[in-house]
Amino acid sequence: AQSVAQPEDQVNVAEGNPLTVKCTYSVSGNPYLFWYVQYPNRGLQFLLKYITGDNLVKGSYGFEAEFNKSQTSFHLKKPSALVSDSALYFCAVRDGGDDKIIFGKGTRLHILP
Amino acid sequence: GAGVSQSPRYKVAKRGQDVALRCDPISGHVSLFWYQQALGQGPEFLTYFQNEAQLDKSGLPSDRFFAERPEGSVSTLKIQRTQQEDSAVYLCASSLARGNNQPQHFGDGTRLSIL
């Protein structure tokens, strides 16, 4: 069965510094990987996805993620953090042969002004 | 509207009551998903529809939970004889077509509180 791990409950970064939010996954088939962001009292918003191809994926709001097959990781990154990036971030995986998405527990990102 | 709409946004019910939660997906979206998000946790899959067909209901926690999408658009999640552990945010998501590369578009959820 597929699973997702986000090892950090919270990440604090100073505004203007680069940020990384970690994610590792486990699937039996080919992984389809996603990052979503959630603001308070709102649903999840899609940021980016990896299906196949280039290991570096670019998404919304300047975020990008790097797929690493050997380390089964899909870390979210941004070169320069903004205070408005403060939110809850979820990594998700779909096994190639399945329809449902499995989400991690989330990482709360705090960008300090 | 342009996005996924869920109603009500907030629902308070007494233990033992039945509740019904509604989801209006984005027009034309074939796939519809229900998730349960407990406080401080990620969303957990409940069930999935492709058009009116319920293809996967493996995540429904008990037979008190029932979902339907009779005409392939609006969906209702019903919880019978509610229990306190049912308190959570229930999220609905839709995607354009069945396919592993389709992102899901989420509604803002229904926050259910069982007293």
Q: Across the interface, do B45 and A45 touch by the CB < 8 Å criterion?
A: no
* pLDDT on residue A98: 72
Residue of B nearest to A99 (CA): B100
* pLDDT on residue B83: 97
Q: What's the pLDDT tens digit per position in A68-101?
A: 999 999 999 999 999 999 999 999 998 766 778 8
* pLDDT on residue B99: 63
Closest CA–CA distance from residue B81 to any residue of chain A (Å): 26
- The pLDDT of A18-36, averaged and rounded, is 93
- The pLDDT of A51-58, averaged and rounded, is 91
Cβ contacts (< 8 Å) between B101 and chain A: which residues? 32, 49, 51
Q: What's the pLDDT tens digit per position in B31-83?
A: 999 999 998 889 999 999 999 999 999 999 999 999 999 999 999 999 999 99
Q: Across the interface, do A101 and B45 touch by the CB < 8 Å criterion?
A: yes
The alpha carbon torsion through A53, A66, A42, A3 (nearest 10 deg) reads 90
Closest CA–CA distance from residue A65 to any residue of chain B (Å): 16
Beta bridge partners of B21: B77
Cβ contacts (< 8 Å) between A106 and chain B: which residues? 40-42
* Residue B19 pLDDT greater than 90, yes or no: yes
Q: Across the interface, do A46 and B105 touch by the CB < 8 Å criterion?
A: yes
* Residue B13 pLDDT greater than 70, yes or no: yes
B/e letters for A65-86, b = 16+ CB within 10 Å, e = fewer, are bbbeeeeebbbbebeebeeebb
Cβ contacts (< 8 Å) between B111 and chain A: which residues? 41
* Residue B85 pLDDT greater than 90, yes or no: yes
- The pLDDT of A43-61, averaged and rounded, is 92
* pLDDT on residue B1: 53
* pLDDT on residue A99: 75
B/e letters for B46-81, b = 16+ CB within 10 Å, e = fewer, are bbbbbeeebebeebbeeeebbbebeeebebebebee
A33 burial via Cβ count (<10 Å: 0-12, 13-18, 19+) = buried
**Chain A interface test: which of B30, B47, B95, B100 (most A C-beta within 10 Å):** B100
Closest CA–CA distance from residue B90 to any residue of chain A (Å): 10
User: Hey, is the C-beta of B56 within 8 angstroms of any chain A C-beta?
Assistant: yes
* Residue B102 pLDDT greater than 90, yes or no: no
What pLDDT band is residue A41 in, cutting at 50, 70 and 90? confident
Closest CA–CA distance from residue B74 to any residue of chain A (Å): 18
* pLDDT on residue B16: 97
